[in-house]
Structure 1
Amino acid sequence: MPSLKSRCVGLYLKLTRKKAFSSAAELHRWIARDRQRADHRPPPAIALRHRIEQRVIDGWPVYDIPATRRGAGHVVYFHGGAFCFEITSYHWNLIADVARRTGARVTVPIYPLAPEHDFHAMFRMAMATYRAVLGESPASEVVFMGDSAGGNMAVVLTMLAAERRMPLPGRHVLISPGLDMTAREAMVEAALNDPWLDVPGGMEAIRLYCAGLDVADWRISPRHGDLAVLPKTLVFSSTRDLLHSGTLGFAEGARAAGVDIELFVEEGMYHVWPLIETIEARRARDHIVAFLGRKTPAEPPRSRGKVVPVAPVRTGLGPTLPG
């Protein structure tokens, strides 16, 4: 059973945040509110502590946390938010924690958002950022890390780089990623168990960013792309997440394609739980730090979460949906 704090967070999400995905109209209302209130800048305490630098790539802000340890690698973090919502303090707290504990350099692109922009603008900026990163670090030391929609971006960007015969990143860390937008028939059932995501607003978010591409296109649903090009990958999922069954399918397909993939499942948790400070989040973050340090713990500390061998899975839970 999740911790008391996690259960309270789940209830709060159900009473508040889930409304954003309850309909297309609600999604647009929340996007409009986000544009008025959101601030992509790192919180002042984090900016001062890490001496964060800012630059502009393809006309968009990019933040860099300098490395504090030689050879610790270079993480590129793609934030989640259904491709429509700005980076938040929760993302920044996770980013800062990873930077502090690993000593890695971390690059954070503030990519263009839907509905003002679409898939093509997002990935033009993401690819420009990756080209800049390749001028600073060897590809083998680069880690693409992302949550939710950002996890989707990490996988799609690697596939696009492979298609262009560019050097590929050395690792992926994917947190509650949205990787398969095609399994619509199970959405309603899955939504009943998810305290955060819902179908109508989620599908509207997909429509807003996909630039007319079919949802089965690998650029929108990378589960259906060439998974063999992916690097060593750590994936986090949770059983009360609408994206869970899609994540299982992705992990199964990647393993079948020869990818070295590790799937960490936390029972009873909600979407992107490692971003919110709880006992379960600390377990997940410990596992990320170990993975980035090229160490794999025998089992997650005090774990109710578990590392799951990827094997064929049958599940009635629903599809993937960025959030």
Structure 2
Amino acid sequence: MPSLKSRIVAFVLRHSRKKAFATPENMQRWIAQARKRQSHQPPVWMMARHGIETRDVHGFPVYEIPPRAGSTKRILYLHGGAYVFEITSYHWALIADLADRLGYGFTVPIYPIAPEHDFHDMFGMVGDVYRSMLNEADPRDIVFMGDSAGGNMAVVLTMMMAEEGLPVPGSHVLISPGLDVSLTNPATIEAELADPWLGIPGGQEAIRLYSAGMEPTDWHISPIYGDLSVLPRTLLLTGSHDMLTPDNLIFVDKARDAGVEVELVYGEGMFHVWPLIRMPEARQARNSIVAFLKTARSLQADNDPINSTASASSKAPFIEGVASTNIA
């Protein structure tokens, strides 16, 4: 049963942020209001505690949290916000928590958002961020992590890099990703009723603003229609009260059919991007993320022909049990 805190959060969302997604006009108004008060900067306490450095790519800031001494792992974090909203304090709190617990470095691009910019600007920037990471780290040590729209971008960026002939990252962590922006799945339309946050009309307006005129089923904006076989080992977290979940479950099946190892955390009673919100279910979800990433590193070491002399039969198997985890 969902915690009292999660039910309170869902109630607040339904009577506040859900309004942004109710109509295209509402989405436009919320974007205009956000531009007046938004800030992409990390909290002051986090800047000092984590030694955050900043650089520019294409004229946009990229924040860097250095890894703990001895760690080679790097996480490229792509924030959500329907492609039109800036990174928030909730994203920064998640990043800080995971940086503390894992000791990995974090690269956080403040990518150009719509309607001032579009798909081409976004991926031109984040693509170059990843290329620069490849000059500094083994791709097997790089994780693409993203929530909502950022989860979409993580998958699309991997596909684009593979198409370009560049190495793909070692792992994905996708938190409530939006993987089919057509939003036409009948199950999605039904799931919208239970979703306290997202709505189809406003969501489609945000997609229109960023998609540069591409068809909704183009894999560049709806990666569920692309070549999923190029994806790395993936952890996907999705909730039963998220209208994106029906498409996420389809994606999981298609990715597994394509040979991708996917672990699924299904949050019973959970809404969109619940791991970002401070509540009991979020702590459990973050534990799953930490466990997945630590296991992913162990598997990479086992599969490295230079560092491993173990036979194939003695290597640790993929653990399917995580795929049936319910967070309640």
**TM-score under structure 2 length normalisation:** 0.90
**What code does the residue aligned with 1:45 have?**
W
Per the alignment, residue 195 of structure 2 pairs with: 194
State the structure with more CA Rg: 2
Q: In the alignment, is the contact (CA less than 8 A) between 1:72 and 1:102 conserved in 2?
A: no
Per the alignment, residue 38 of structure 2 pairs with: 38
Asked whether 1:261 is paired with 2:262, we answer yes
Deviation at 1:66? 0.5
Measured against aligned partners, the alpha-carbon deviations of 1:109-154 in whole angstroms (never above 9, x if no partner) come to: 0000000100000000010100111111111100000000000000
C-alpha distance in structure 1 between counterparts of 2:30 and 2:6, whole Å: 24
Deviation at 1:291? 1.2
C-alpha distance in structure 2 between counterparts of 1:261 and 1:185, whole Å: 22
**What code does the residue aligned with 2:178 have?**
G
Taking a change above 3 Å as real, the CA distance of residues 179 and 298 of structure 1, as seen in their structure-2 partners, is: closer
**What code does the residue aligned with 1:219 have?**
H
C-alpha distance in structure 1 between counterparts of 2:293 and 2:73, whole Å: 8
Asked whether 1:134 is paired with 2:139, we answer no
**TM-score under structure 1 length normalisation:** 0.91
Name structure 2 gaps, 5 residues minimum.
297-317
Per the alignment, residue 305 of structure 1 pairs with: 327
Measured against aligned partners, the alpha-carbon deviations of 1:17-39 in whole angstroms (never above 9, x if no partner) come to: 00010111110111011111110
C-alpha distance in structure 2 between counterparts of 1:252 and 1:188, whole Å: 20
Taking a change above 3 Å as real, the CA distance of residues 260 and 230 of structure 1, as seen in their structure-2 partners, is: same
Matched residues, number:
304
Per the alignment, residue 230 of structure 1 pairs with: 231
Per the alignment, residue 103 of structure 1 pairs with: 103
Q: In the alignment, is the contact (CA less than 8 A) between 1:72 and 1:293 conserved in 2?
A: no
Asked whether 1:280 is paired with 2:281, we answer yes
**What code does the residue aligned with 1:52 have?**
I
Measured against aligned partners, the alpha-carbon deviations of 1:223-254 in whole angstroms (never above 9, x if no partner) come to: 00000000000000000001000100100000
Q: Percent identity?
A: 55
Deviation at 1:298? 9.0
Asked whether 1:252 is paired with 2:274, we answer no
Per the alignment, residue 173 of structure 2 pairs with: 173
The CA RMSD over aligned residues, in Å, is 1.5
Deviation at 1:190? 1.8
Measured against aligned partners, the alpha-carbon deviations of 1:57-110 in whole angstroms (never above 9, x if no partner) come to: 111100000001423510000000000000000000000111110000000000
Q: In the alignment, is the contact (CA less than 8 A) between 1:69 and 1:104 conserved in 2?
A: no
Per the alignment, residue 82 of structure 1 pairs with: 82
**What code does the residue aligned with 1:233 have?**
T
Moved more, 45-54 or 84-93: 45-54
Deviation at 1:286? 0.6
The structure in which a higher percent of residues are helix is 2
Name structure 1 gaps, 5 residues minimum.
307-323
Taking a change above 3 Å as real, the CA distance of residues 71 and 91 of structure 1, as seen in their structure-2 partners, is: same
